[in-house]
Amino acid sequence: MGYFNYTPTQNIIYLEPLLFLIIAALLAIWFVQTKAIISFTQAEIVFVLFIFYIICKSILLRQFNYTSIDFLLFIIALYFGAKSFFANNTNEVNVKILLYIFTTSLGISIAFALYHYFITKNAFANIYLPNSSIFGILLASQLAFVIPLFFKVKKTVKPTLKLLYVTIIVAATIMLGFTNGRAGWLGFIFAIVYLAYQNLQNASTKKYIVYSITPLLLAIFSLLFFYKQNSSNGRLLIYKVSATMLQNNWLLGIGHGNYKVEYNTAQAAYFSVNNINSKEALLADNTYFAFNDFFQIVVENGIVGLLFLIAFGFLVARQIKNMLVNEKNKHLVYAAIASLICIAIGAMFSYSLQRFPIIFMAILCFAIVNNYAIKTSIAFTFSLQKNKIINFVAVLFSLFLCVHFYFAMQYNFKSNEASDLNRAGFKTKSVAVYNDIYNAQYKDGGTLLAHAQALYYTNNLLKAKNVITKTKQFYNSNEVYKLSADIENELGNVAQAEKEYKIAINMVPNRLITRKKLLDFYVAQKDTLNTIYWAKSITKMKIKIPSSIADNIKETAKGILTKINK
């Protein structure tokens, strides 16, 4: 997700498929009536080939996951819809439309932030889901996009409108500072430097700017690294574990969309041979992103993915270098490139390319760049209107996505209904709803975990075991393994329960409750040696977030040790 925190999180899980359904329907309508010319640049060919490579690899290796593959197909449809839209309008029209849309978007962001902070009295950090740092990257990319467009129209708009644009830009820049997002700040700084560089006329001045600004940017980067030291160190742990995953799957990777499935088990393997009471262990958490989207692409797709990334980056850079830009049309393409710089830098330190609003922004900017003529290019050109086959395929493709997202919305709606029933105490009815959607093609790991929990607490242990096993194919966390261990323990599979409790501990070593689960297990098994070991482990464990619960667990462990020593 990636949306304003205006509604309960459980509502957003089915609002997103609804949004995708509406966009897919609009794309179908657009592809029916469009007369725009679509041309494939070399970068676009690599982009499309990479997506189809991922799909084919997923099918052949039986890693096919509707929840990730459908999104890739949606991106293709959305991209070519956006490109044909820009090709169908003049540069001046595109500038006016986009400036209006994004200043309105920034204005809404500012208004919502003010309301959220001053009226509802909530912390600014909670303004956006999943967090304000992701919002910072989106905000920076929109700001970098709007600024060049404003300079394009500032001499032709009315003074009141000009003042409004300036007010929105200044207010949004101030708000960017409050997001506390290093990636957004850094991306915006690089984008502004790029825009300043492009608007300089003197070549020697440009060289001076490059030589003087580069050390300053490196210094800023270093300072931002130390600004949130624990966060930076936590990401270094993630990179280290991710590198091990890549080392073990270097050719084809772990599979597209499988990072959230594989990472936590890899982290458990790492801490099974390293100190679980170290400072590094205190930084560990359930992790579903590599906090570097490009690195995650390589981990999921191996060396082949790396080659695609290098080819794509090289071709985009060459295309930008060879674009035919003049005084009249330069502002829009500079806006798109500046925004892409923000997004790319954000993607190096976060998971911005896995959040739809930022993906949408990247798609628009990439479509704008690819609508500009270039000096040298290999391109295939055709008209959607004249080519009936292409027209039919595009419309059919969009309608297929409409149907798919309708079922995804229904799945999430049912999941939300089951969750509400469970919270209200109607456990049996909740299980019945979860059972109805269990065999759906669309799957969500969080829903499967909730299903397994509902079955466990209604004593449907064998069914719960089947569901938690299925959950591990889509989603993994120490909560998944802790529940799996509880189920195995209840079924009398003692050895398997012990194994899974240990995996749960090693996944996130700083979770005191998980260690308490294993301690209780050994107490029940009357295993004195292991009881002493884990009781001591709990008493010596450093606490990440102090609480009364943590204090009680430590006191319980001390009591067990005292009782044994009598």
Q: Model confidence over 393-421: pLDDT tens digits?
A: 788 888 888 888 888 888 888 998 999 99
Q: What is the rounded CA–CA span in Å between residue 343 and residue 183?
A: 9
User: Taking the CA of residue 88 as centre, how many other CA atoms within 13 Å lie in the half-sphere pointing to its CB?
Assistant: 15
| Cis preceding linkage at 130, omega within 30 | yes
Q: Is residue 115 part of a domain?
A: no
Torsion angles phi and psi, residue 439, rounded to 5: -95, 10
In the listed set 321, 341, 375, which residue is the last one of a domain according to the structure?
321
Q: Closest Cα to residue 182, out of 370, 342, 362?
A: 342
Find all residues with CB under 8 Å of 377, minimum gap 6, and list them: 41, 42, 319, 322
Tens digit of pLDDT for each residue in 200-259? 766 666 666 666 676 766 666 666 656 666 777 889 999 999 999 999 999 989 988 899
Question: Percent of the chain having pLDDT more than 70?
Answer: 87
| Residue 4, pLDDT score | 58
Both tokens of 538, joined, read 């709990």
Q: Is residue 418 part of a domain?
A: no
Rounded to two decimals, the pTM is 0.90
How would residue 8 be classed by pLDDT, with cut points 50, 70 and 90?
very low
Q: Is residue 537 part of a domain?
A: yes
| Residue 204, pLDDT score | 66
Say which CATH number the domain at 494 has.
Answer: 1.25.40.10
Tens digit of pLDDT for each residue in 190-199? 999 899 888 8
Tens digit of pLDDT for each residue in 302-322? 999 999 999 999 999 988 888
- Does position 101 have pLDDT exceeding 60, yes or no? yes
Mean pLDDT over the full length of the chain: 86
Q: Is residue 478 part of a domain?
A: yes
* C-alpha dihedral sign at 204, 209, 214, 219: positive
Tens digit of pLDDT for each residue in 345-379? 999 999 999 898 999 999 999 999 988 877 766 66
Q: Is residue 286 part of a domain?
A: yes
Q: Closest Cα to residue 319, out of 361, 362, 376?
A: 376
In the listed set 321, 354, 376, which residue is the last one of a domain according to the structure?
321
Average pLDDT of the segment spanning 469-492: 94
Q: Closest Cα to residue 169, out of 189, 139, 126?
A: 139
Q: Is residue 540 part of a domain?
A: yes
| Residue 225, pLDDT score | 58
Q: How many domains does the chain have?
A: 2
Q: Is residue 482 part of a domain?
A: yes
- Domain range for 309 is 228-321
Tens digit of pLDDT for each residue in 252-295? 899 888 999 999 999 999 999 999 999 899 999 999 999 999 99
- Direct distance between the N- and C-terminal alpha carbons of the chain, in angstroms, rounded to an integer: 54
In the listed set 321, 344, 364, which residue is the last one of a domain according to the structure?
321
Q: Is residue 177 part of a domain?
A: no
Answer for the pair 137, 350: CB distance below 8 angstroms, yes or no: yes
Answer for the pair 263, 240: CB distance below 8 angstroms, yes or no: no
